[in-house]
Structure 1
């Protein structure tokens, strides 16, 4: 229903282009792990897929007061967002179980490994929940890079402005070799870093080896620049590997075939 109501308008205003759509499995459960630049990321990825996908989203989207709060909650439910309490504990575990149940039903589940939106357009350290999900479910992980959605909707801007956005989908990653090792924190970190490395390669983003939530706190206290310089020398890519030579993807030259129809 959401695609019927808002899909045509979004296509006209943002002219989304997509590359690698064939990498999304035609059937069976799969985890789509995406970088996270803007709230609208959760709108555009479902728009270009032929299969239904749901994401988890912060609980605050569902608890807002007034007309705006109700509209936001209704829209989030409409696009299939599952609320999660980001304070951790049992609520986050429940969200993980929801994802496992959906994957077990042979459906698509979307997740943002960074845990929150990037505060400055760079790619941040992934949380290991995505690795747990992959190892416990046995489902493949399909890396997805959102391009320029932060230009369409910078942090603090409620409504996105018409700006062409892109989506680059990488080849599925298979982690079944680690089956039964979901309680090994070193394996979870290695798997998460491999996923983040794929996202870095697809998106062309600079990588910062701290959590996005930590960097947001640094920005709030005025320590972001100093922390960035320190982190830049610590690691250049996930897992401490040398950074690959990457470039931010650009739209195909053939506009006639670039947008999603």
Structure 2
């Protein structure tokens, strides 16, 4: 239990420190105030994760690419993903900045109770094991499902989704007898808002691959449609 107190203290401290930069929350009435859930949000680089955590008044356990939780691997990942493309730093300067950022970011993400997800190593069994335990304890997962190698949708800034996490819905139902809500979340920088839509529920028919594919298509369509609708309220 001590580790949860530590995680919660850091999580709340970060939310307090970042409160001047929060967007406005919308759709909180759609969320059940108690119990396990999965929240699925658009990424928008670093903006999505930061704003969901700062803006929504819930304790999340985010899925994070495992390199970002490993002091040895994080500098290279941060260099390729952030320092070089965003800060335009290469060579010794880029390596130094990446190393310095990693020392802070790894400890911060680990202290928040993030769930490391390994890429390109087959099915992420350890992430699912930990996520299952968190859900059994009534915790809320935060997942950003966009495939970084997928095609970019210019209307929404989203890429195609990877939705293996829907398998947790079936496991949770088997564990508890209850259905697990999956909340679509849209970070919309143009209106400086974070919208939580009504939950989706995984429909189990016994065809696991087809069930996950169908749920994924429904989720992706819902989120992209909401983003486009929000744009229309601003631009007409």
TM-score (norm 1): 0.64
> How far has the Cα of 1:48 moved from its partner?
2.9
| Distance verdict in 2 for CA 1:77–1:98, change over 3 Å | same
Structure 2 partner of 1:94: 126
| Distance verdict in 2 for CA 1:15–1:59, change over 3 Å | closer
Structure 1 partner of 2:40: 33
1:124-170 CA-partner distances (Å, limit 9, x unpaired):
2221313212232231101101112xx8xxxxxxxxxxxx7320100
d(CA) in 2 for partners of 1:112, 1:67: 25
> How far has the Cα of 1:107 moved from its partner?
1.1
Question: Which among 29, 32, 50 is matched to residue 43 of structure 1?
Answer: 50
Structure 2 partner of 1:198: 222
1:173 aligns with 2:200: yes
Indicate the SS of the match to 2:195.
Answer: strand
8 A contact 1:144–1:168 mirrored in 2: yes
d(CA) in 2 for partners of 1:2, 1:9: 10
1:63-142 alignment runs, 5 A limit:
63=70, 64-65=74-75, 66-90=99-123, 92-116=124-148, 122-137=157-172, 138-142=179-183
d(CA) in 2 for partners of 1:41, 1:115: 15
> How far has the Cα of 1:60 moved from its partner?
1.8
d(CA) in 1 for partners of 2:182, 2:26: 17
- Paired residues, number: 191
Structure 2 partner of 1:218: none
1:24 aligns with 2:48: no
8 A contact 1:35–1:146 mirrored in 2: yes
Q: Which has the higher helix share?
A: 2
8 A contact 2:23–2:193 mirrored in 1: yes
Structure 2 partner of 1:239: none
Question: Which among 58, 62, 67 is matched to residue 60 of structure 1?
Answer: 67
8 A contact 1:56–1:84 mirrored in 2: yes
| Distance verdict in 2 for CA 1:29–1:74, change over 3 Å | same
5+ long unaligned stretches in structure 2: 1-8, 76-98, 173-178
Q: What RMSD, in angstroms, separates the aligned Cα atoms of the two structures? A: 2.7
d(CA) in 2 for partners of 1:117, 1:199: 19
8 A contact 2:22–2:54 mirrored in 1: no
Indicate the SS of the match to 1:172.
Answer: coil
> How far has the Cα of 1:46 moved from its partner?
2.4
| Distance verdict in 2 for CA 1:82–1:40, change over 3 Å | farther
Structure 2 partner of 1:146: 187
5+ long unaligned stretches in structure 1: 152-163, 205-245, 252-261
Structure 2 partner of 1:210: none
1:46-74 CA-partner distances (Å, limit 9, x unpaired):
22333311111112212335432211101
